[in-house]
Amino acid sequence: MSEGRTEISAIGEFGLIDHLNENIIIKHSSTIKGIGDDAAVIEAGDHVKVVTTDLLLEGVHFDLSYAPLPHIGFKAVAVNVSDVAAMNAVPKQITVSIALSNRFSVEAVDALYAGINAAAEHYGVDVIGGDTTASRSGLVISVTAIGESKRELLSYRSGAKVNDIICVTGDLGGALVGLQILEREKQVYLANPDMKPELEKYGYVTGRQLRPEARMDIIHELRELAIVPSSMIDVSDGLASELFHICKASNVGVTIYEDKLPIDKQTFDTAVALNLDPITCVLNGGEDYELLFTIDQKDFGKLEKHPDIHFIGHVTKEEEGKYLVTKSGTAVQLKAQGWKHF
């Protein structure tokens, strides 16, 4: 970049990654895919390895006043497994690095690891290493996951084709709504510590925020059905933002339909009660960790009756743009607000 000072917020997180990528030169033919997808892809004999990493910081990604340590440990693993899943690969190993301030005891680290080990068991991965260091400001966790796939089974962000069907698993917006509830109850508690947080009736949305599931179940089902998504990404920053990534990588456009977007009833009702537009939560909420993928029309019959896969639209030519068709039939241009870190 030119001389002078450029604020990171001026180019954004994705702009920054693109900027860094400009000066990275790949040296090995075994590096099949570097920066730019949910995980990197490395050749390994008759199969490929995928590698992905995520960093979670106290005060940025989680708040210990409402997130239990075992849940944080589980989530740190699940979000990486989700990126492995998004390549249509199966996770095998993880490394776990932690930084701790002196606020944390051995018992606290045990609680964190109870969640990490539960997730390792749940997703069938081995914890093979990591790093431990001191921190000046709270807890930091970084997990790296390594997965495996056959090269021909990989799904990149870049493979979507015109007329493919756009699919999304589960339901969306819950994690964002859950976060709003947890923040609200925290403020109520801070204002009056005698008040008991009113969380019982928000179990689903708070669970979506605190203990997300990576959709490995879907990856295994797709394998059994012999379906390889033409493109795939996990929904960590919001549906609209992820659709933009697929469009950019695949040089395509998309049309999605408001009435096809999956939203849970508790998410919907809670959003309305919080004065949030439920569709905005679905489009721009973060951290749902569902899978967004495209399939060829010929595969539709095999998935049509699946109870947890929703067909939200189709892939169009790039020049047709990116549109959301509202319930009233109006096409509005999609905006990727995403989950802003900067």
Please report, as ranges, the residues that interact with ligand ADP according to CB under 6 A. 17, 20, 35-38, 54, 83, 236
Q: Minimum distance from CB of 9 to ligand ADP (Å)? A: 16
State which residue, 38 or 258, has the beta carbon closest to ligand ADP: 38
Nearest Cα to Cα of residue 163 among 240, 38, 250 = 250
Q: Minimum distance from CB of 73 to ligand ADP (Å)? A: 18
- Please identify which residue in the block is written with the tokens 């895919």: 33
Inter-residue contact 342 to 12 (CB < 8 Å): yes
Tell me, rounded to whole angstroms, the distance of Cα 64 from its chain centroid. Answer: 21
In this chain, which of 37, 38, 171, 288 binds Mg ion, going by CB under 5 A?
38
State which residue, 171 or 237, has the beta carbon closest to ligand ADP: 237
Q: Minimum distance from CB of 202 to ligand ADP (Å)? A: 26
With CB under 5 A as the rule, give the number of residues binding Mg ion. 4
Q: Which residue is nearest to Mg ion (CB)?
A: 38
In this structure, which amino acid lies at residue 183? E
State which residue, 41 or 252, has the beta carbon closest to ligand ADP: 41
Nearest Cα to Cα of residue 246 among 158, 323, 167, 313 = 158
Nearest Cα to Cα of residue 207 among 152, 287, 106 = 287
In this structure, which amino acid lies at residue 315? V
β-sheet bridge partners, residue 127: 94
- Residue 142 — φ and ψ, nearest 5°? -125, 125
Site string for Mg ion, 55-94 (x = CB under 5 A): ----------------------------x-----------
Nearest Cα to Cα of residue 213 among 119, 279, 340, 302 = 119
Q: Enumerate residues 209-268 that contact Mg ion by CB under 5 A.
A: 234, 236
17 binds, among ligand ADP, Mg ion, none (CB under 5 to 8 A by kind): ligand ADP
Q: Minimum distance from CB of 76 to ligand ADP (Å)? A: 13
State which residue, 99 or 181, has the beta carbon closest to ligand ADP: 99
State which residue, 34 or 321, has the beta carbon closest to ligand ADP: 34
Inter-residue contact 340 to 11 (CB < 8 Å): no
β-sheet bridge partners, residue 49: 42, 148
State which residue, 185 or 287, has the beta carbon closest to ligand ADP: 287
